[in-house]
Chains A and B, each alone.
Chain A
Amino acid sequence: MAVVTHLYTIIVNDSLIGGVAWTTATVNCALFSASTFTAADTAYTTSGTEVASANGYTTGGGAVGTRTLSTASTTPQLAKITGAFGGGSAGTTTWTATGAGFSAVAAKLYIVSGHPICNVDFGGTQTASGGGTFVITWDATNGVLNAASS
């Protein structure tokens, strides 16, 4: 059961034209109960079905918080998530599931009022319930976005 991660063509385009303010935009992480990745999507909700608002999850997901970028002279440029949503440790996005909880097969990072950044397919259904947590830990070393010239 592999986990598949896709990136959106439009966010690559945004990167090249300066449309991505990684450290200043509001970036949310949303969970999906059905996932279809379409590279041409221009909104995070275009493909797939977001987890419904209930049992600890609210549509739109949560703001991932503080993000950092390497210094200008560093290559590759590492765009990291160091903030926390949901009360977890730095670099985590957390939901606490109540009651019957919820299940998700994918997560999407997106810029609020902007474009989707990437789609992380979990490769299967992941569940949290009864007061348990649903946590995503973003890589603290390599970041979410790793841009290099070659």
Chain B
Amino acid sequence: MEPTVTEEEREFKIGHPDGSTSTIKGKVITTDHHETDADGNPKISTHIALSGPVMPVHILNPESEA
């Protein structure tokens, strides 16, 4: 049997120390290989793909805040 692949696109929320949030795109891909090891454990794989910086740092120029 061919592996069953479940792909879910997600928005990854980024929390900042000041309480604000931003988001990046990404997805979680789960694969059921429909195989088992010698002890009968199912072969399952997970892939988390991040599409964006998980740590954006913005250094403010004081003049831009005036």
Contact A149 B61 (CB under 8 A): yes
Partner of A130, one of B24, B41, B48, B57: B41
User: Which residues of chain A come closer than 8 Å to B43, judged between CB atoms?
Assistant: 129-132
The CA-CA distance from A6 to B15 in the complex, in Å, is 5
Partner of A139, one of B31, B39, B52, B58: B52
Partner of A138, one of B10, B46, B50, B60: B50
Partner of A118, one of B30, B42, B54: B54
Contact A147 B13 (CB under 8 A): no
Task: Name the interface size band of chain B.
Answer: 35 or more
Min CB distance, A12 to chain B, in Å? 6
Q: Does A47 contact B (CB under 8 A)?
A: no
Min CB distance, B3 to chain A, in Å? 10
User: Which residues of chain A come closer than 8 Å to B58, judged between CB atoms?
Assistant: 147-150
Q: Does A142 contact B (CB under 8 A)?
A: yes
Partner of A2, one of B12, B49, B50, B54: B12
Closest B residue by C-beta to A117: B55
A sample of 24 inter-chain contacts (CB < 8 A) reads A4-B14, A4-B15, A5-B15, A7-B17, A12-B17, A78-B53, A99-B37, A99-B41, A101-B44, A117-B55, A127-B44, A130-B33, A130-B43, A131-B37, A131-B43, A132-B46, A133-B46, A135-B46, A137-B49, A137-B50, A139-B53, A142-B51, A150-B60, A150-B64
Q: A3-B28, A4-B14 are in contact. List 13 more A-B contacts (CB 8 A).
A: A5-B50, A6-B14, A12-B57, A122-B48, A126-B28, A130-B41, A133-B47, A135-B45, A135-B46, A137-B50, A144-B54, A149-B58, A150-B64
